Amino acid sequence: MFVFSRFSNRLVLFSALAFSFLVASALAQSTASIQGTVTDASGASVPNATVTVHNQNTGEERTTQTDASGSYLVPSLTVGTYRVEVKAQGMQTMVANSLPVEVSSIVRQDFSLKIAATSETIEITAAGPVVESNTVSVGAVVNQKTVQEIPLNGRHFVDLALLIPGSVTPPANGFLTAPLRGQGSFAFNTGGAREDSVNYMINGINMSDPVQNQITFQPTINTVEDFKVDNSTFSSEYGRNSGAIVNIATRSGTNEWHGEAYEFLRNSYFDARNFANSTNVQSGSTLVSNPQSPFKRNQFGGDGGGYIRKDKTFFYLSYEGLRQRQSVPLQSLVLTDVQRAQAQTSSDAIIQKLLPLIPSANSGGNLFVSSATANVDIDQGTANLTHNFSDSNRLNVYYALQHDLRGEPPTTQNNTLPGFGDHREGRRQILTINDTQVMSANVVNEVRLGYNRIRITFLATMR
């Protein structure tokens, strides 16, 4: 891995280039495996049975044979729904349909074959195991249905990790746990570990910032197929962090066309008044009505994909935009009218220079109530391309680009007077390239290339 980083009051820059090579890994990080045993009616193993797994979404097909103990294993499969067919000499053919295969999981499907009296094929509806018995990992998968359909305020991907048992929201005063305006929280606590010990991976490529140990990029939830959080006792193939492992599989095209367009709206019309946003303010000697601080958030976009060449080449594209307009209430302790009058008569030159910088109280005896703008603009686009050169060779390329512009109010810097905030402009990029080659029934080689870059500039807001 190559890492270059630089910090200053104007620029934070992080980029990483990573290569990964896997040979005969039963549990590849961004993919999954199907395994099981084939027996006859008496429970004896059936060796040399032909096992064919067929991806019902993309048409990809892999074939293997059971060993002397009747066991089989098909590794490095893409996430999706599969059809598993077993054939053996003198036995009835058996087919398991609609077997769900989730990211970073080993799905078990056993078969019990009967002696063939006819050429009849027995079909069953497969189901994933209730209890994970194939690995020692402790964790859970958030599947596509949950990712795509659960109501989620702000549509922030990391918030979905709170659905995993053992996960909680990090404390507000924790390390780098304060949510970014318009982008949500970039951290969570799980398995009793610190939030900065979690390692995030997308398509098998690390997407954690090695400087600050937080996720570098929040993918649009419409582009997430599913993801898994391993809280503890995860496989030795993982390294770098001591805490949980978050494995994300991105959504790719299939042999069917899918698309959607959407807009989500939230504004102050539906919100209660903030405690610091008082109802009335002082104007001279009278109280006047203080309007509620405005808030309006629009999240909109679209995504869709399908095939370029059926069973061979697939794509999935997305765009999401965020426009958030917000006014943050400010409340400061200032001089009372009596104190200001006394200060004005002072002969101290320093006091006379500082006095104009302190606003006059407008709410009660010594309170100055005001507001600051905190607008956010985010544009994010992704592209996912998959090509099957053959049933034994698959290439996937995923690229995401996000541009965000945030106006931070002075409260971010523990200031309560208007005009002391800053503007932050960020550009985030993720590129993953995965090439999987099935070399034999026992050897699978996967080559990964990843690129992860962040550039953020900070500009002070001058009064």
Q: Are 34 and 86 a contacting pair, CB within 8 Å?
A: no
* Cα 408 from chain centre: 24
CA-based R_g, the chain, Å: 29
Q: Are 375 and 407 a contacting pair, CB within 8 Å?
A: yes
Sheet harboring 138-142: ordered strands across?
138-142, 224-232, 245-250, 199-202, 205-206
**Mean pLDDT, to the nearest integer, of 58-62?**
91
The predicted structure's pLDDT at residue 136: 58
Q: Are 227 and 103 a contacting pair, CB within 8 Å?
A: yes
The predicted structure's pLDDT at residue 138: 67
The predicted structure's pLDDT at residue 133: 60
| CB < 8 Å & 24+ apart, contacts of 264-272 | 264/155, 264/297, 264/298, 264/299, 264/300, 265/296, 265/297, 265/298, 266/153, 266/295, 266/296, 266/297, 267/294, 267/295, 267/296, 267/297, 268/292, 268/293, 268/294, 268/295, 268/296, 271/295
Q: What percent of the chain has pLDDT over 90?
A: 32
Instruction: Look at residue 29 and tell me whether its pLDDT is greater than 70.
Output: no
State both tokens at 344. 């004005």
Phi, psi of 221 (to 5 degrees): -65, -25
pLDDT tens digits along 270-288: 777 776 666 766 555 666 6
The predicted structure's pLDDT at residue 27: 45
The predicted structure's pLDDT at residue 285: 62
| Out of 23-27, 183-187, 349-353, 413-417, least confident range | 23-27
pLDDT tens digits along 404-432: 998 887 777 777 777 777 888 999 999 99
Instruction: Look at residue 395 and tell me whether its pLDDT is greater than 90.
Output: yes
The predicted structure's pLDDT at residue 188: 84
Grade residue 19 by pLDDT with cuts at 50, 70 and 90: very low
**Mean pLDDT, to the nearest integer, of 286-293?**
70
Q: Are 110 and 38 a contacting pair, CB within 8 Å?
A: yes
**Mean pLDDT, to the nearest integer, of 120-125?**
76
State which amino acid sits at residue 407: G
- State the Cα–Cα distance between residues 179 and 371, nearest whole angstrom: 20
**Cα atoms in the 13 Å half-sphere on the side-chain side of 361:** 16
The predicted structure's pLDDT at residue 365: 76
**Mean pLDDT, to the nearest integer, of 189-200?**
82
Range picked from 272-286, 292-306, 320-334, 378-392 for highest mean pLDDT: 378-392
- State the Cα–Cα distance between residues 213 and 198, nearest whole angstrom: 8
Q: In terms of Cα–Cα distance, which of 309, 460, 320 is closest to 388?
A: 309
State both tokens at 109. 């499907």
Domain spans in the chain, listed from the N-terminal domain onward: 1-27+135-463, 32-125
Sign of dihedral through CA atoms 21, 27, 28, 33? Answer: positive
Instruction: Look at residue 124 and tell me whether its pLDDT is greater than 50.
Output: yes
In sequence order, the β-bridge partners of residue 19 are 449
- State the Cα–Cα distance between residues 463 and 422, nearest whole angstrom: 11
State which CATH number among 1.10.2020.10, 1.10.238.10, 2.170.130.10, 3.90.1300.10 fits the domain covering 1-27+135-463.
2.170.130.10
Phi, psi of 451 (to 5 degrees): -135, 130
Grade residue 66 by pLDDT with cuts at 50, 70 and 90: very high
Cβ neighbours around 214 below 10 Å, total: 18
3-state SS class at 353: helix
| Out of 123-137, 223-237, 318-332, least confident range | 123-137
Report the chain's mean pLDDT, rounded to a whole number. Answer: 82
Q: Which CATH superfamily is domain 32-125 in?
A: Carboxypeptidase-like, regulatory domain (2.60.40.1120)
The predicted structure's pLDDT at residue 360: 82
- State the Cα–Cα distance between residues 456 and 6, nearest whole angstrom: 11
State which amino acid sits at residue 422: D
Grade residue 21 by pLDDT with cuts at 50, 70 and 90: very low
Task: Find where tokens 């659960």 sit.
Answer: 150
pLDDT tens digits along 426-458: 999 999 999 999 888 778 888 999 999 888 898
- State the Cα–Cα distance between residues 199 and 383, nearest whole angstrom: 24
Instruction: Using a cut of 0.85, tell me whether the model's pTM lies above it.
Output: no
The predicted structure's pLDDT at residue 323: 94
